[in-house]
């Protein structure tokens, strides 16, 4: 890796760390430069302004959740097995500490930069659509009775997120609910499939 690229990466990483610790507005470009072990001028050579640097961070956040590929419906595999795998895939992305750091920085800036919501919208609806497709396939196969696949997808993802993403994002510790991710996913898949099981 070239020295220049290394610098760029260092700066971006330092920016996320500092933004995460102090918030966007309370982090000066001088501090980012310091933390990255770079000079302020270099920071400005790579990212024209503080805003552009933030934009770069938003892009990094988006790239992260692109690892979620299609949730393929397998006609010859048991539904619980398939849905558990999907659930764990989703939670693995969203419960990653690095992903949450990025998300915190971006979400806390949403008031000031509302354009971000369009981007987030895009991504969350991508996951939802993929999951709804899976539901529709299972419905067509008569192994599930899901009259509204989009609504059902929303429900499923909602349960996962409110277990493994939102509380951790806001550093809220859950009292009285101390279970592993896999336990929660299993339990949720079981309940969900029973709730949508054909008559």
**Distance in angstroms (rounded) separating the CA atoms of residues 11 and 141:** 51
172 makes contact, choosing from its own copies, DNA, none, with CB < 5 to 8 Å by partner type, with: its own copies
With beta carbons less than 8 A apart as the criterion, state whether 57 and 102 touch.
Answer: yes
**56 vs 169, beta carbon nearer its own copies:** 169
63 makes contact, choosing from its own copies, DNA, none, with CB < 5 to 8 Å by partner type, with: none
**Distance in angstroms (rounded) separating the CA atoms of residues 127 and 90:** 9
Q: Minimum CB separation from DNA for residue 21, in Å? A: 13
The secondary structure of residue 198, as a DSSP letter, is -
Q: For binding to its own copies (CB under 8 A), which residues are involved?
A: 19-26, 104-105, 107-112, 114, 117, 120-121, 124-125, 128-129, 132, 148, 150-152, 154-155, 157-163, 166-167, 170-177, 179, 184, 187-188, 190-197
**What is 3-34 written as a DSSP string?**
HHHHHHHHHHHHHHHHHHHH-STT--HHHHHH
The binding track of 18-57 with respect to DNA, each residue x by CB under 7 A or -, is --------xxxxx------xxxxxx-xxx-xxxx------
Compute how many other C-beta atoms are within 10 angstroms of the C-beta atom of residue 154.
15
Q: Minimum CB separation from its own copies for residue 99, in Å? A: 16
């Amino acid at each position: 890796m070239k020295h220049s690229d290394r610098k760029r990466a260092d700066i971006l990483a330092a920016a996320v760390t500092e933004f995460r610790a102090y918030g966007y507005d309370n982090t000066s470009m001088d501090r980012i430069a310091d933390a990255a072990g770079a000079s302020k001028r270099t920071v400005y050579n790579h990212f024209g302004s503080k805003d552009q640097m933030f934009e770069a961070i938003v892009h990094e956040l988006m790239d992260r959740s692109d690892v979620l590929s299609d949730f393929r419906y397998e006609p010859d595999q048991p539904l619980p097995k398939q849905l558990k795998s999907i659930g764990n895939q989703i939670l693995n992305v969203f419960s990653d500490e690095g992903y949450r750091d990025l998300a915190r920085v971006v979400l806390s800036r949403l008031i000031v930069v509302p354009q971000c919501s369009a981007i987030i919208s895009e991504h969350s609806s991508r996951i939802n659509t993929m999951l709804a497709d899976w539901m529709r396939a299972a419905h067509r196969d008569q192994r599930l009775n899901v009259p509204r696949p989009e609504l059902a997808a929303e429900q499923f993802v909602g349960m996962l997120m409110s277990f493994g993403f939102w509380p951790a994002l806001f550093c809220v510790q859950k009292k009285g609910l101390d279970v592993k991710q896999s336990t929660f996913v299993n339990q949720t898949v079981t309940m969900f499939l029973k709730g949508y099981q054909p008559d």
